[in-house]
Amino acid sequence: MNIDLSGRTALVTGSTAGIGEAAAAALAAAGADVVVNGRDADRVDEVAKRLGVRGIAADVGTAEGVAEIVEQLPDVDVLVNNAGVFSPIPVFEISDAEWLRIYQVNVLSGVRLTRHYAPRMVNRGWGRVIFVSSESAVQPPTEMVHYGMTKTAQLALSRGMAQEVAGTGVTVNSVLPGPTLTEGVREFVRSLYPDLDFAEAERRFMAQDRPTSLLGRLIRPEEVANLITYVASDQAAATTGGALRVDGGVASAIIP
């Protein structure tokens, strides 16, 4: 299968590290004109130069940050709503401010950006909107219920938005990674097993904390990026309104 995104413009939010950076690199390799995004201008510039793409520094967790992006980039063909934050906190200790913070970044960023870009995609007769959700959407993690809640919300959003643009040439989907070897997850695993080297900590984490994984290891960001790139392509024209797992089998359910 030859995926060719030449002539397509793709915005990947939260793309200065981890899954977002891997997705930006994969989309660029497929020929897309990619725009990376993050809050830190120096980091955005560094990643944009390394990947040979454009960059926009803005906080998509705020209405002002989204407005700044759409002013600089009025149209895109592929929108990857990847920006997200997580923090392990016992559910009854999560403050109102923390509930609102994680909702603003993980959910409202995608709402605001898709609300701007999707209707314009419809007018052009082609577009791809991809929410980077998580297996936590279908099996909420006890240590961060608020994060799981936002990931479940993304599934409802992507399905509802897909229904709204039905038959227009625009698709909306969610991709559900499992535990992935990003810097944030690396630090989280290290915090759980501070006395072990990382290879052993990874094995212990998967065996004890994610025992349902059929893969038996942390997923690599590039493996998630491969699915994102496919969903962004012409070849995925019949895939819409879906929740697509790339979780290593950690969610012990058949659908999604």
- Catalytic (active site) residue 147: yes
Q: Average of pLDDT values for 35-52?
A: 98
Q: What is the mean pLDDT of residues 171-180?
A: 98
Q: Could you say which of 3.40.50.510, 3.40.50.720, 3.40.47.10, 3.30.360.10 is the CATH number of the domain covering 9-180+220-245? A: 3.40.50.720
> Is this model's pTM higher than 0.75 or not?
yes
User: Taking a C-beta distance cutoff of 8 angstroms, is the pair 61, 37 a contact?
Assistant: no
User: Which of 103, 117, 147, 230 is an active site residue?
Assistant: 147
Question: What is the pLDDT confidence band of residue 122, given thresholds at 50, 70 and 90?
Answer: very high
Give me the mean pLDDT over the 1-18 stretch. 97
Residues spanned by CATH 3.40.50.720 within the chain? Answer: 9-180+220-245
Q: What's the rounded Cα separation, in Å, for the pair 148 and 141?
A: 6
Torsional sign, CA 155, 156, 161, 166? positive
Q: Where residue 58 falls among pLDDT bands split at 50, 70, 90?
A: very high
Percent of the chain with pLDDT over 70: 100
**What integer best gives the mean pLDDT of the chain?**
97
- Burial profile 74-84: b = 16 or more Cβ within 10 angstroms, e = fewer: eebbbbbbbbb
Rounded to 5°, the CA angle 128-221-175 comes to 35
Question: Which pLDDT tens digit goes with each residue over 177-190?
Answer: 999 999 988 998 99
Terminal-to-terminal C-alpha distance of the chain: 25
Percent of the chain as helix, strand, coil, to the nearest 5:
50, 15, 35
